[in-house]
Amino acid sequence: MKHLAKTFVVSAALFASTLLPVHAELDVGGLKAAIEASVEADYPRLEALYKDLHAHPELAFEEVKTAAKLAAEMRSLGFEVTEKVGKTGLVAIFGNGDGPVIMVRTELDALPMEEKTGLAYASRDKTIWNGVETFVAHSCGHDIHMTSWVGTAKTLVGLKDRWQGTLMFIAQPAEETVSGARAMLADGLFTRFRKPDYGFALHDGPIPYGYVLYRVGVGSSNSDSLSIKFRGRGGHGATPQATIDPVMIAARFIVDVQSVISREKDPTEFGVVSIGAIHAGTAENIIPDDALVLGTIRTFKPGVRAKMLAGIERTANAATAMSDAPAPEIRITEGAKAIMNDPAVVATAEKVLKAAFGDKLRISPPGTPSEDFSEFGNAGVPSMMFNIGVYEPERWAAANNGGLPLPANHSPLFAPVPKPTIETGIKAMTLAVLSAFDQHARGK
């Protein structure tokens, strides 16, 4: 029986190897040409979509019209679209035979700020945000991501004889408030739909267009927000002896907390505390009752994060103790976790991207901003996020040769050059997805 079984296995293997085509290496040159032709043909439509998204941005969890536009695009490509996943998110599925499920994520949201690019398609839209009227702008470039996402879907559908499996394209709300990924997961993203085998996302940034930046391991920072209410005892500015001055305590904390970074943290490890807002008092001659300090804490490693949180708390309590004030109210709210790019997914994509982009594919240092794309990786999806550039290479070179720095994401002047940026986004994302399908088909 044992012998027979072995014979059968051997002959079945022979049979398979004779009749099934040997899986060839991905023809990156041919694919690149096919992708470029597809993008060129679609570009007028994609640019119209980009300019429309750019001119009419929406804030976190309010991306109703934006989501509806993307849902219509994906349905027209034959995707099955489910709306309102995680409030305003979308899940678009395209099945193409047996194979892995590959997730591609875009964000939907914009920022509460005024765009000052002067572009013909600049946003002048306003909305009410936290009770206050504000301009809205796509100053983080999520409109580039959305357009690349639609273009990638179109390109992959056009190349469907080159891959087998399922595309799971998700449009995530509220990345800027690092809450949209969690909202989609809590709404059953990986239970109502299949859990993906691989996940990809891209982000644009102030580097030359045509370039793709990536890294293995840490890709973004842990982000925590800090809120401390220092409590004092208000009174007349001319009689400080009868008061406990919370402004003084807050000032002491703001200066001393930087010593947690410079004296307690290992200097070779990344860690930042930035105080972004101070709210206290009403008039020059009144010592207020309390002072509110708001800030952000960024780290890469959990151990560094723990050390910094402990140091911040100790410093706040010490500043308070010096003035014999009541204990401060310290609130640290956990935000996004650092992105960990999966080494195997990156290694597979890297080979294909290198063949397509040559020396325009570069390894980047870890980014210090935060990103909730990390939520999907932490939920068990091996993932990769990479960056693409948005500016003319000559302009970038001039800026790096002593010129003015180019406006980065979140600047009111952030203005990607649409065509080469979107083309690079589609080309890189399509090839990354194809690399994962191909690797899976080879059985790794």
Q: Rounded to the nearest whole angstrom, what is the least distance from the CB of residue 319 to Zn ion in the complex?
A: 32
190 exposed, middle or buried (CB, 10 Å; 0-12, 13-18, 19+)?
A: middle
Helix (H, G, I), strand (E, B) or coil at 115: coil
Q: Which residues contact 310 (CB under 8 A, 6 or more apart)?
A: none
Q: Rounded to the nearest whole angstrom, what is the least distance from the CB of residue 285 to Zn ion in the complex?
A: 41
Note the Cα 168 to chain centre separation in Å.
17
Residue 149's closest CA among 89, 107, 194?
A: 107
Q: Rounded to the nearest whole angstrom, what is the least distance from the CB of residue 392 to Zn ion in the complex?
A: 21
- The whole-angstrom separation of Cα 166 and Cα 156 is 11
- The whole-angstrom separation of Cα 107 and Cα 45 is 20
Of 204 and 423, the one with the shorter C-beta distance to Zn ion is 204
- The whole-angstrom separation of Cα 134 and Cα 128 is 6
- For residues 228 and 273, the answer to whether their CB atoms sit within 8 Å is no
Of 316 and 336, the one with the shorter C-beta distance to Zn ion is 336
Residue 200's closest CA among 345, 35, 79, 336?
A: 345
Q: Rounded to the nearest whole angstrom, what is the least distance from the CB of residue 224 to Zn ion in the complex?
A: 17
Q: Rounded to the nearest whole angstrom, what is the least distance from the CB of residue 289 to Zn ion in the complex?
A: 35
Q: Rounded to the nearest whole angstrom, what is the least distance from the CB of residue 293 to Zn ion in the complex?
A: 23
- The whole-angstrom separation of Cα 385 and Cα 340 is 9
Of 220 and 439, the one with the shorter C-beta distance to Zn ion is 220
Q: Rounded to the nearest whole angstrom, what is the least distance from the CB of residue 203 to Zn ion in the complex?
A: 6
What residues make contact with Zn ion under the rule CB under 5 A?
140
295 exposed, middle or buried (CB, 10 Å; 0-12, 13-18, 19+)?
A: buried
Of 224 and 350, the one with the shorter C-beta distance to Zn ion is 224
Q: Rounded to the nearest whole angstrom, what is the least distance from the CB of residue 181 to Zn ion in the complex?
A: 12
- The whole-angstrom separation of Cα 335 and Cα 322 is 31
Note the Cα 200 to chain centre separation in Å.
11
Of 145 and 440, the one with the shorter C-beta distance to Zn ion is 145
Q: Rounded to the nearest whole angstrom, what is the least distance from the CB of residue 410 to Zn ion in the complex?
A: 6
DSSP 359-400: GGEEE-PPPSS--TTHHHHHTT--EEEEEEEEE-HHHHHHHH
Residue closest to Zn ion, measured at CB: 140
- For residues 255 and 318, the answer to whether their CB atoms sit within 8 Å is no
3-state helix, strand, coil in the chain (%, to 5): 40, 25, 35
Of 130 and 268, the one with the shorter C-beta distance to Zn ion is 130
Residue 93's closest CA among 105, 79, 75, 104?
A: 79
Note the Cα 248 to chain centre separation in Å.
38
Q: Rounded to the nearest whole angstrom, what is the least distance from the CB of residue 191 to Zn ion in the complex?
A: 27
CA distances from 364 to 204, 407, 426 (A): 13, 19, 20
Task: For residue 185, give the amino acid letter.
Answer: L
Of 140 and 422, the one with the shorter C-beta distance to Zn ion is 140
Token couple for 261: 């970074």
Q: Rounded to the nearest whole angstrom, what is the least distance from the CB of residue 401 to Zn ion in the complex?
A: 27
- For residues 381 and 185, the answer to whether their CB atoms sit within 8 Å is no
Of 140 and 436, the one with the shorter C-beta distance to Zn ion is 140
